[in-house]
Amino acid sequence: MRKAKALLFEMGRPGRQGYSLPSNDVPEKSLEELLPKKMLRQEPLELPELSEVEVIRHYTELSTRNFGVDTGFYPLGSCTMKYNPKVNEDVAALPGFALMHPCQPEETVQGALELYYNMEQHLKELTGMDRFTMQPSAGAHGELTGLMVIQAYHRNRGDHDRNKVLIPVTAHGTNPATVTMAGYEVIQIPADERGNVDLEALKEVVDETTSALMLTNPSTLGLFEEEIVEMAKVVHDAGALLYYDGANLNAIMGYARPGDMGFDVVHLNIHKTLSTPHGGGGPGSGPVGVKERLIPYLPVPLVDKKEDRFYFDYDLPDSIGKVQSFYGNFGVVVKAYNYVCMMGGAGLKQVSTDAVLNSNYLASLLQKTYFIPYDRIRKHEFVVSAKPEKKKGAGAGDIAKALLDRGFHPPTVYFPLIVDEALMTEPNDTESKETLDDYARAMEEIARDIEEDAEKVAAGPYHTVGGRLDEVRAARSPVLRWQKE
Amino acid sequence: MDYKVIDGLKYTRQHEWARQENGTAVVGLSDYAQHKLGEIVFVELPDVGAEVEAGKSAAVIESVKAVADLYAPLDGKVTEVNEALLDQPEVINQDPYGEGWVFKVEIKDASQLEALMDKPAYEEFIIKEEEEE
């Protein structure tokens, strides 16, 4: 494989150029005449001097180093790195969507408002909630919005002492950060031996200072909370609310709805669950849905319909306000809307069926070689513990590097924290049996390699552009940009 | 035992240690904890003068693997912090019981310290924790 290459700044040669301008046919004026002196650069700007083909080759070569869902298997747990149909892009690029301006008057963007309105109806049906805002930019932003709505609800009732949010150890990683950001104290709830939230522990800590329980269901262990209805009752009886992190909704679409389980607020990661590119591939979108009693606190504006006309509804006096300039990441919602319409209800249910089937199939293959704690039927993901391998000399991080050598993106490593040497693996609905078999074979090979020569595995990868990167130095003294010597 | 546990220190269930020293308690991370975290890259220290509460987060330790809270083993006012860790957090990995101490706290209630685990109890605790996983 190609090794790291020179930077453009290092490649440049004085006098080389990638353009030639036509001769000037208007009278020339000097910059000094046009701009105030203080705005003029004292020294010439130092840019690399290169020919066009050099620049093209450089960036084309860099682009081939990207690893994405379009290049290979990407089982990054809880991130739902599934294939995103290209037709989503075509639809979002239609000039009527792509060339719109957010300041256009309502009557000229009726189609866009209708799309938001329709999408809201679909999301309500999918989750069992009563209203949605499309404003939040992604999952964590949705979480913050949801907690602010909960805060406003308690405050409006004169209930000022609720300063704690409960989070299970199996929750999605962003939850504690959101809670802290919203000004709450995080109270962690342990898991029981089946991997569920420990109901007794929950009962012990929930009280009149609890604002909400934040839950990811199924959890990051890929396990469905078996006692969710009882948990909801415990939380509601204490006057607190239930928050649903939709990170793993792709496991239960069409089978179960957070609204029916008793959740008061949900956020969805439609860029994951409803297949729009994410990660390096595009922005996210984290719509937040609420039950009836929380609607007054949603961000303004909501999109509503009067007779045949769609409009922005700003008439929510108790609203938490705007959480995003304009109306959210519209293009992402267009893509997700296209996906929902294309799949239909039965199709979305099939997505969850396949995600769960693939996960359980892959887990059953890996279980022959690896230890997978909490031996239950899993949902869309499962967590391997590489603790036995670690004892032999190569742990989760080393297995991840060895997977890179075999052309796979590794699972999420070292999370959730409740599993030692965790490899959180989410194969998704869009992968074939052959891909899963290949991955399982690679994992078996790695286990054999560790058995034979753990030290060698721990020093990999050997076939990637950069080899083993120094993560410690990268974290302690990062080099963030090129600097002239 | 693969992990160093030192006699004369007191240990918490969250793997902090505390050592009595002229009316204050020196607090740090156990060797087991630093092994589990892996290479430490960043430490967030409490403010000198801040009141910490037993069992509540008092400092943050970030490694290449995870971000973890360091919980105060006892109540009290922070009298000194190990500022050397800001530049060289890896000292916790190298010398968790010595140069890698994190902060010192005034002892308000010595019984809180007494209630913590001693060497044999902590060793047993680690062995049990290892088996459970």
Domains of chain B: 10-126 (2.40.50.100)
Of these ranges, A38-52, A86-100, A469-483, the one predicted with the greatest mean pLDDT is: A86-100
Residues A280 and A133 in one domain: yes
Residue A357, domain CATH: 3.90.1150.10
Q: How many structural domains comprise chain A?
A: 3
Is residue B44 less than 8 Å (CB to CB) from chain A? no
Domain of residue A128: give its range. 87-343
Residue A88 phi/psi, 5° resolution? Answer: -55, -40
Which DSSP category does A343 fall into? H
Instruction: Count CB atoms within 10 A of the CB of residue B64.
Output: 17
Phi-psi region of A421 (alpha: psi -120 to 50; beta: other; left: phi over 0): left
Residues A48 and A182 in one domain: no
**ipTM of model:** 0.72
What confidence score (pLDDT) does residue A478 get? 86
Q: Are B41 and A419 within 8 A, CB to CB?
A: no
What confidence score (pLDDT) does residue A3 get? 53
Of B36, B41, B65, Cβ closest to residue A476: B41
Residues A365 and A468 in one domain: yes
Name every chain A residue with its beta carbon within 8 A of the beta carbon of B133.
373, 385, 387, 419-420
Is residue B64 less than 8 Å (CB to CB) from chain A? yes
Q: How far is B22 from chain A (nearest CA, A)?
A: 33
Structural domain includes residue A239: yes
Place of tokens 């890259």: B41
Residues A160 and A40 in one domain: no
A375 pLDDT above the threshold of 60 = yes
Name every chain A residue with its beta carbon within 8 A of the beta carbon of B64.
471-472, 475
Structural domain includes residue A478: no
Structural domain includes residue A202: yes
Does this model's pTM top 0.90? My answer is no
Q: Are B41 and A385 within 8 A, CB to CB?
A: no
Encode pLDDT of A277-294 as tens digits. Answer: 887 666 899 999 999 999
Residues A211 and A95 in one domain: yes
Q: Are A414 and B66 within 8 A, CB to CB?
A: yes
The two three-digit tokens of residue A167, written as one number: 């989070």
Residue in chain B closest to A471 (alpha carbons) equals B64
Structural domain includes residue A69: no
Residues A324 and A379 in one domain: no
Structure-model confidence comparison of residues A21 and A262, the more confident one: A262
Encode pLDDT of A321-350 as tens digits. Answer: 999 989 999 999 999 999 999 999 999 999
Of B36, B64, B133, Cβ closest to residue A472: B64
| pLDDT classification of A1: cutoffs 50, 70, 90 | very low
Structural domain includes residue A160: yes
Query: DSSP string of A348-405?
Result: HHHHHHHHHHHHHHHHHHHTTTSB-SS-S--SS-EEEE-HHHHHHT--HHHHHHHHHH
What confidence score (pLDDT) does residue A172 get? 84
Phi-psi region of A480 (alpha: psi -120 to 50; beta: other; left: phi over 0): alpha
Name every chain A residue with its beta carbon within 8 A of the beta carbon of B62.
475
Q: How far is B37 from chain A (nearest CA, A)?
A: 10
Q: Are A420 and B133 within 8 A, CB to CB?
A: yes
What confidence score (pLDDT) does residue A221 get? 94
**How long a stretch of residues is chain B?**
133
Which DSSP category does A76 fall into? B
Structural domain includes residue A115: yes
Residues A128 and A194 in one domain: yes
Residues A128 and A263 in one domain: yes
> Which residue, A294, A328, A343, sits at the end of a domain?
A343
| Percent of chain A topping pLDDT 70 | 99
Tell me which of A192, A399, A401, A414 to substitute to probe the interface with B (most B C-beta atoms closer than 10 Å). Answer: A414
Find how far residue B35's CA is from the centre of its chain. 13
Ranges of chain B whose pLDDT falls below 50 = none
Name every chain B residue with its beta carbon within 8 A of the beta carbon of A471.
39, 64
Structural domain includes residue A404: yes
Structural domain includes residue A480: no
What confidence score (pLDDT) does residue B133 get? 54
Residues A188 and A322 in one domain: yes
Query: DSSP string of A191-218?
Result: B-TTSSB-HHHHHHH-STTEEEEEEESS
Residues A361 and A267 in one domain: no
Encode pLDDT of A160-200 as tens digits. Answer: 999 999 999 988 888 999 999 999 999 999 999 999 999 99
What confidence score (pLDDT) does residue B93 get? 96
What confidence score (pLDDT) does residue A157 get? 95
Q: Are B42 and A475 within 8 A, CB to CB?
A: yes
Instruction: Count CB atoms within 10 A of the CB of residue A331.
Output: 20
Residues A95 and A230 in one domain: yes
A473 pLDDT above the threshold of 90 = no
Residues A333 and A360 in one domain: no
What confidence score (pLDDT) does residue A4 get? 58
What confidence score (pLDDT) does residue A112 get? 97
With beta carbons less than 8 A apart as the criterion, state whether A351 and A327 touch.
Answer: no
Tell me which of B43, B64, B69, B85 to substitute to probe the interface with A (most A C-beta atoms closer than 10 Å). Answer: B64
**Mean pLDDT of the region A13-23:** 89
Q: Select from A170, A167, A169 the least CA-distant residue to A223.
A: A170
Lowest mean pLDDT among A411-415, A462-466, B81-85: A462-466
> What is the per-residue burial (b if ≥16 Cβ within 10 Å, else e) of A201-234?
bbeeebeeebbbbbbbbbbbbbbbbebbeebbeb
